[in-house]
Structure 1
Amino acid sequence: MTLDRRHLMTATGAAALALTTPAASRDGAAPEDGVARDRTNGPMELARVAHAPSNPTGLAISRGGRFFVMMPRFEAAVPFTLGEVMPDGQVRPFPDLATNAIDPAQPQARLFHVPNGVFDDEDHLWVLDAGLPDGAGPPVPGGPKLVRIDIAAASIRRVVPLEAGVVPTSSLNDLRLDIGPGRARAYVTDQGQDGEGAILAVDLTDGRVVRRLAGHASTRSQKGLLKLVEGEAVMQRKGEGPPRPVQGGANGIALSADRKRLYYAPLMGRRLYAVDTASLLDRQASDAAVAAGVEDLGEKGMTGGLATDARDRVYLALQEHNAVGRRDPDGTVSILATDPRLIWADTFAITADRWLYITAAQVNRRPEYNRGQDRRVTPYAILRMRIDADPA
């Protein structure tokens, strides 16, 4: 079923209006549900729709306001994995359709399975390619990589192979950059197709890739957890067989404002973790030493993506609540806004004018979670809300 922009906004108008009622107003009165909310942050609004060919999990926004979405190839039929969202909601393959075409013979020149991307300080787009043309199985040899794209020229400027950091069960998921005076690094999460995750640290000056925290409890899919989205348990439901639990190791990541800590969490896990970034690429640090430095920052809900602001507050894509949450440096976790359109809250993008954008990826509506029924509704929503701080 498809839904055009007019129908999407009509269908969700009542929900959007509800967020401006006294229960969520800025007058200082206590909300009816008793949940504390930060009055300096605005309600959520529809920023753009995306007629994407598959689930837009990733989002990156250029300085000039160009929107790019990343659509992992959960199956080979997805026509392109990286696209630009036009003002009318149409999504065009980027940089072109040929670059998005699956060709294992050209692993460095093609995009196979892009879950996320970010912009650097020169407004070049870096995308993460997991090298999975059919969503599962061993990555294509040479396929896992970072790709730097000049969006003005729609041209690839650099490719950084990640082969040294992946294993046959890898499923690379999220990316953060730390580029500044005397440093050029990238950090990548591997959630693992088997739930056994890890973190990849990349030295962008020489291309060195180090796989860290593999097998550690903080990067592993937590057992015995049930994720509820839209009031239903998210389980693998295929054919007539019994439902199987979803697995997902290290997933969302974010850098602290001073770039000294990396925040991260498993997809299937309710706790937030942090590790010293300097240790990840330290040639003298053993894996055991890195693991010993992991901090358990406590409960934060079941999340997808993470982001940080200049005040070192961590934003949380609270998938079970169709909500945006935030963890303050003192450990306080609060809900900033909820919206019924925020189905499978996934990736954040914070812009210089203090808008926080987030994708509603609808992953829980995919056929494999619904006994073969595709319940996704297009166009997909990209929502936004005002925040009271600059991006980290």
Structure 2
Amino acid sequence: MKRRSLLGAAVPMGVAAALARAAGRAHAAPAATEGTNRDHGFNSAGPFEVVARFDGPGPSGVAVTPGRRIFIGFPRHAINHTGATLAELRDDGLHAYPDAQWSLPSDRAPAQRLMSVHGMTTDTRGRLWCIDDGKLAGLPLAAGAAKVIGIDPATNTIFSNIVLRPGIVLPDSHMNDLRVDLTHGAAGTVYVTDSSFGMSPALVVIDIATGRQRRVLAQHHATQAERGFMAVVEGRPLVFDPPRHKPSFVWGGADGITLSPDSGTLYFCPLTSRRLYSIPTALLSDFSATEAQLAQAVRDEGEKGVADGLATDGQGRIYTTNFEHDAIFRRNVDGSFDTMVRDPRVLSPDGIFVDGSDVYCTLGQWNRLGGLNGGHDLRVPPYYLIRFPTDPPAAVDALHVK
């Protein structure tokens, strides 16, 4: 292109204004059209509805039983609130679950009350399972506080209470999420992610029938937070670089966890990572398998973005929350991805659960906690529980419908 053409194509603003004034006719620049000069990645995308708004504690875990009863976890590890830590969402609001004695603060022994319910799920029999991380903000982890709880919604009673023993739960443990596999073990096997409040993440495997439990892959890169990892949160580039810098965004090791539809494969991921990993449950549930055998069986499934919660639908598609993009993505069985939801309100999407053709997700604004923002709690209630379809109807272009 000749120099004259370049000058005609792009004239600096100061020069353009001077030329316009000299000609006696200054005009405003035309507005940018929808098709040009904007990043459409900032547009909202995907249909979703707000199922509930919460003005009290922030929500984390969510599970829906086959009878479409909705359960929400409100952990106390960040804010030691006095509300229910596990609640059922009904038409008239939240109800402590399974009852007030278990779910509200009390002087009962830590092993006999719910301290801080985080992740939750259902098994293939429709029973509710919760991981109680046991942690109350500002207090050390009490003996018996961290545990796995199984509740039968048909009777609203606890049928399983497996306290995590010392050595399985560490002083800096953060038992984050869980999945239950009824295809291995006499009564099934529970897999828990310990994302750790420090630098000691791992997977925890529990045999339901015997209560036998062990930590695995505690030194494997698949469970670790990546040093030097950078995330862009609400437009701010933030780097995970301890101990040089205090973390300024939600971080951790093994966090997201989900099972394949046949329970043959466990998928998991560190929070501070973009990788997705898997391991066969036949091996993971085998307490005779060595650490070396487990490490060798871990498969890197590729990138999935910055995901907190994971959930699988009946077709084997994995839904991944993403706190960088205020979005929820879906990893299809061929490894491709779809954007299911993207919206400025989707702040810190956390617990996620697939109920048939619907996906539920809690939005807790966790990146705005005071501990990550110089002591200033920047959260702005309400917090949301949202729902969207696994297969939304195709968009119709009214201009081209015949």
Q: Could you say which residue in structure 1 is the equivalent of 2:7?
A: none
Q: Could you say which residue in structure 2 is the equivalent of 1:216?
A: 220
1:56 matches 2:59: yes
Which runs of 5 or more structure 2 residues have no equivalent in the other structure?
1-33, 393-402
> CA contact under 8 A between 1:210 and 1:281: conserved in structure 2?
no
In 1, Cα distance between the equivalents of 2:55 and 2:207?
33
Q: Could you say which residue in structure 2 is the equivalent of 1:117?
A: 120
Which runs of 5 or more structure 1 residues have no equivalent in the other structure?
1-22, 24-31, 36-41
> CA contact under 8 A between 2:128 and 2:153: conserved in structure 1?
yes
1:331 is matched with which residue: 323, 326, 335? 335
1:255 matches 2:246: no
RMSD: 2.7
1:270 CA displacement: 0.6
Q: Could you say which residue in structure 2 is the equivalent of 1:382?
A: 385
In 1, Cα distance between the equivalents of 2:204 and 2:358?
29
1:340 CA displacement: 1.8
Counterpart AA for 1:110: R
Which deviations, in whole Å up to 9, do the C-alpha atoms of 1:329-353 show, x marking residues without a partner?
332233233122211111111112x
Identical residues among aligned pairs (%)? 34
Query: TM-score, length-normalised on structure 1?
Result: 0.80
Q: Could you say which residue in structure 1 is the equivalent of 2:151?
A: 149
Question: What is the 5 A alignment of 1:1-392?
Answer: 43-51=46-54, 53-73=56-76, 74-88=78-92, 90-102=93-105, 106-134=109-137, 137=140, 139-163=141-165, 165-180=168-183, 184-233=188-237, 243-246=246-249, 247-352=251-356, 354-388=357-391
1:58 CA displacement: 0.7
Which deviations, in whole Å up to 9, do the C-alpha atoms of 1:144-175 show, x marking residues without a partner?
11112233543322212222522222110001
Give secondary structure in 1 for the equivalent of 2:188.
strand
In 1, Cα distance between the equivalents of 2:84 and 2:374?
25
Counterpart AA for 2:52: V
Give secondary structure in 2 for the equivalent of 1:226.
strand
Q: 1:98 to 1:369 in 2, by over 3 A?
A: same
In 2, Cα distance between the equivalents of 1:131 and 1:221?
22
Q: 1:82 to 1:382 in 2, by over 3 A?
A: same
Over alpha carbons, which structure has the higher Rg?
A: 2
1:64 CA displacement: 2.3
Q: 1:234 to 1:154 in 2, by over 3 A?
A: farther
Give secondary structure in 2 for the equivalent of 1:376.
coil
Q: Could you say which residue in structure 2 is the equivalent of 1:13?
A: none
Counterpart AA for 1:85: L
Query: TM-score, length-normalised on structure 2?
Result: 0.79
Which deviations, in whole Å up to 9, do the C-alpha atoms of 1:251-295 show, x marking residues without a partner?
010111221211101111111111121222323311111111111
In 2, Cα distance between the equivalents of 1:377 and 1:309?
31
In 1, Cα distance between the equivalents of 2:53 and 2:67?
18
> CA contact under 8 A between 1:229 and 1:344: conserved in structure 2?
no
In 2, Cα distance between the equivalents of 1:151 and 1:234?
42
Give secondary structure in 1 for the equivalent of 2:282.
helix
Aligned residues: 346
Which deviations, in whole Å up to 9, do the C-alpha atoms of 1:168-217 show, x marking residues without a partner?
22110001011248661111000011132111111112111121101211
In 1, Cα distance between the equivalents of 2:389 and 2:260?
20
> CA contact under 8 A between 1:67 and 1:86: conserved in structure 2?
yes
Which deviations, in whole Å up to 9, do the C-alpha atoms of 1:353-390 show, x marking residues without a partner?
x011111111112222222332222222111221149x
> CA contact under 8 A between 1:69 and 1:82: conserved in structure 2?
yes
> CA contact under 8 A between 2:48 and 2:341: conserved in structure 1?
no
Give secondary structure in 2 for the equivalent of 1:115.
strand
Give secondary structure in 1 for the equivalent of 2:229.
coil
